[in-house]
Each structure stands twice: as structure tokens, then as C-alpha cells.
Amino acid sequence: EVALVTGASRGIGRAIAVQLARRGARVACVATAAERCAETVSACGEAGGEAHAWGVDVADTSSVAELVSTVHKELGGLDVLVNNAGITRDQLLLRMSEEDFDAVVATTLTGTWNFLRAAARPLMKSGGRVVNVASVVGLIGNPGQSNYAASKAGILGLTRSVAKELASRGVCVNAVLPGFIATDMTAGMTEDARAELSGSIPLGRVGSPEDVARLVDFLCGPGGAYITGQSLIVDGGLSL
Ligand code: NAP
């Protein structure tokens, strides 16, 4: 089994790559530069699997197409695609620049579409699995994140549409929606904001990258065989 994971250098993507490697997948780890995935590649090795690193800007459509075909050739197929790369550029609507809106949409939403289109043929051949990492923010919204929330909500519609398009070829396409997960993306929050937010999570703690990775692993394994077009929330009850 060959799995490609974007945003695999750190955080949630790193945990997903390691989890899939543990299950025996050969993992293509993708980040902005191959060197950034060096630690993930060795963690995959320690987990008993095999991983290779590539660098690309997920927003660059033609480079993504080239990368997917290289991975397909070098690793001998493509069975699993995890679209996890994403960025935030938070600002209230009235203060948000067009650049901040466009940058988040380009990386988070267009990046996901770029990989889906480039990988569709190999995935149709293998009857593969796709997991798109969205966010509960795409459902419930968040002040200061209009760009990010729009991108993540877009991923949900993209997921359902592509699930319908590829179902006849046996490809399952789902979205996972993490809540508040401890990674670099959320590290910038103040202690007070963190305490307030974690206090509002019914399960009483911030999530770990592994909490998300285990759900992704389930969807990519035998348990995911009859699940497609779904949006699965992994947020400790945050969005309830
Ligand atoms: P993170 O720690 O900030 O890591 C982001 C990853 O995306 C890195 O591997 C980064 O690579 C990669 N990336 C960013 N821009 C890229 C680009 N243009 N081209 C290629 N790779 C790019 O983020 P995270 O918290 O693990 O989040 C992972 C995903 O989960 C994101 O889609 C995020 O929106 C979503 N999510 C996170 C949370 C949370 O609470 N953390 C909640 C809900 C959803 P480099 O290292 O090379 O920069």
C-alpha cells in the first residue's frame, strides 16, 4: 500500500504518516520542502514502516501534478491520499487583506483539489481511499477565520462531490473535522485563550495529533470500506 500525506512534516500530518507507516504503508511525506520531512521519515522507520520525502507548494497545480506522477512511479502505485496541508492567516473581516484571504484558500482548498485531480486516475485504478482534513470551523465558523472557515467548508462540498464521482470506481472519499488540536498551528494562542477553550471542550482536554491520526487510519483501513462522502468530527465534543 502506498499512501501520500501532505503537510507531513509536523503536527497532524506527521502523526498520520507515522500511523499509516505502522500499519505497513509505504508513505510519501509531502511538505513545502523535502528536508522538512526528515524527522517524520525517521519516525515512520522507527514505527516499522517506510517513508520518503518530497517538497512542493500544494497551491501550485502543475507542480502537484508532476509530484503525484513521480511518487506513483517511484513507489509503484497510489492507494491512499491524505490532504492535510493547511494554513491560517487570522484577521477580522474588516481588517483582512485580499492576500490573506487568497493565500489561505490557495493552500487549504485549492491545494486539496490539486491533489485530488492529480491522484484521481491512480486512485481509480487501485480503488483507493482519500481523507481530506477539514475543521469544525468549516461547520460552526470562528471570528477572525473567515478565510479559513470558507476553505474548510469548501473542502466538505469538494469531498461529497468527488465521493459521488469516484464511488463507481470503488474510491472512498471522506473528510475529518478536528477541533482544537495541540500543534504549531494552535501554539500561538495565549495561555488564557487555551485555558478558556479547553474548558469548553466536553471531554475536558485539547486533542492530540494522534487522536486525529487514529480516525484517518480507520478510514484508510478495512473499517472504512463502506464509508464515503462523510464528514467525521474528532473534537472531544467541542462543536456540540
Ligand atoms: P501545522 O502544524 O501548522 O502544519 C502544517 C503542515 O502543512 C506542515 O507540514 C506544512 O509544511 C504544511 N504546509 C503548509 N503550507 C503548505 C504548502 N503551501 N505546501 C505544502 N505544504 C504546506 O498544522 P496542523 O495543526 O498539524 O494542521 C494540519 C491540518 O489540520 C491543517 O489542514 C489544519 O487546518 C487542520 N486542522 C488543525 C487543527 C488544530 O487545532 N491544529 C484543527 C482543525 C483542523 P512545512 O513544515 O513545510 O511548512
Binning pLDDT at 50, 70 and 90, where does residue 191 land?
confident
pTM above 0.75, yes or no: yes
Q: CA-to-CA distance for 107 and 110, rounded, in angstroms?
A: 6
pLDDT, tens digit (0-9, with 9 covering 90-100), for 125-175? 999 999 999 999 999 999 999 999 999 999 999 999 999 999 999 999 999
Binning pLDDT at 50, 70 and 90, where does residue 194 land?
confident
Q: Is the CA virtual torsion 10, 16, 173, 133 positive or negative?
A: negative
Q: Which of 18, 58, 112, 185 to mutate to test ligand 1, by most ligand atoms within 8 A of the CB atom?
A: 185
Q: Is the CA virtual torsion 134, 186, 58, 69 positive or negative?
A: negative
Q: Which of 87, 132, 184 to mutate to test ligand 1, by most ligand atoms within 8 A of the CB atom?
A: 87
pLDDT, tens digit (0-9, with 9 covering 90-100), for 206-240? 999 999 999 999 999 999 999 999 999 999 999 99
Contacts 24+ apart (CB under 8 A), 87-96: 88/145, 88/148, 88/185, 89/147, 89/148, 90/144, 90/145, 90/148, 91/144, 92/143, 92/144, 93/146, 96/146, 96/147
For the cut 90, the answer to whether the pLDDT of residue 49 exceeds it is: yes
Catalytic residue status for 148: yes
Closest C-alpha to 86, from 64, 114, 68, 59: 59
